[in-house]
């Protein structure tokens, strides 16, 4: 069965670059959420194998999304990859302590992103 990946990122350009990198891999399908609201709406309604999320977003940020996912018995098993920048070390650490599996630093190398995605999904 193909792997379904949710990408939560408020920058359109960044979101589509992440999505196209993930879709370059065989057997992956991406769903995009442009903000925290969209993510909260989609997560309980669809099946996801992986969530890739930005941290710094307006209204509902990435840490809040991670907490939402990891505190719910129905989807707390979905692994999460944080996409962040070099400078946001504190927030990144918090994300990991909240239950995110890995992080990627922006700007990212597409091959590195693919590697991390595969590692997290154990494939």
Binding site for other proteins (CB under 8 A): 10-14, 16-17, 20, 34-38, 40-41, 44-45, 55-56, 58-61, 63-65, 67-68, 71-74, 85, 87-88, 90-91, 94, 97-98, 106-108
CB nearer to other proteins: give 5 or 83. 83
On whether the CB atoms of residues 109 and 81 are closer than 8 A, the answer is no
CB nearer to other proteins: give 64 or 102. 64
On whether the CB atoms of residues 7 and 22 are closer than 8 A, the answer is yes
Count Cβ atoms within 10 A of the Cβ of residue 43 and give its class: 0-12 exposed, 13-18 middle, 19 or more buried: buried
> Shortest approach of other proteins to residue 123 CB, angstroms?
25
List, in sequence order, every residue forming a beta bridge with 29; answer none if it has no partner: 4
> Shortest approach of other proteins to residue 69 CB, angstroms?
10
CB nearer to other proteins: give 56 or 101. 56
List, in sequence order, every residue forming a beta bridge with 80; answer none if it has no partner: 51
């Amino acid at each position: 069965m193909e792997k379904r990946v949710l990408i939560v990122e408020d920058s359109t350009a960044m979101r589509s670059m992440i999505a196209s990198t993930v879709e370059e891999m065989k057997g992956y399908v991406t769903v995009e959420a442009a903000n925290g609201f969209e993510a909260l709406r989609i997560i309980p309604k669809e099946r996801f194998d992986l969530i890739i999320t930005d941290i710094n977003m307006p209204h509902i940020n990435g840490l809040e999304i991670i907490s939402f996912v990891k505190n719910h018995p129905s989807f707390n098993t979905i692994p999460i990859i944080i996409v962040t920048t070099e400078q946001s070390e504190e927030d990144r650490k918090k994300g990991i302590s909240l239950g995110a599996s890995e992080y990627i630093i922006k700007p990212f190398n597409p091959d590195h992103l693919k590697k991390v995605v595969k590692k997290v999904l154990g494939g």
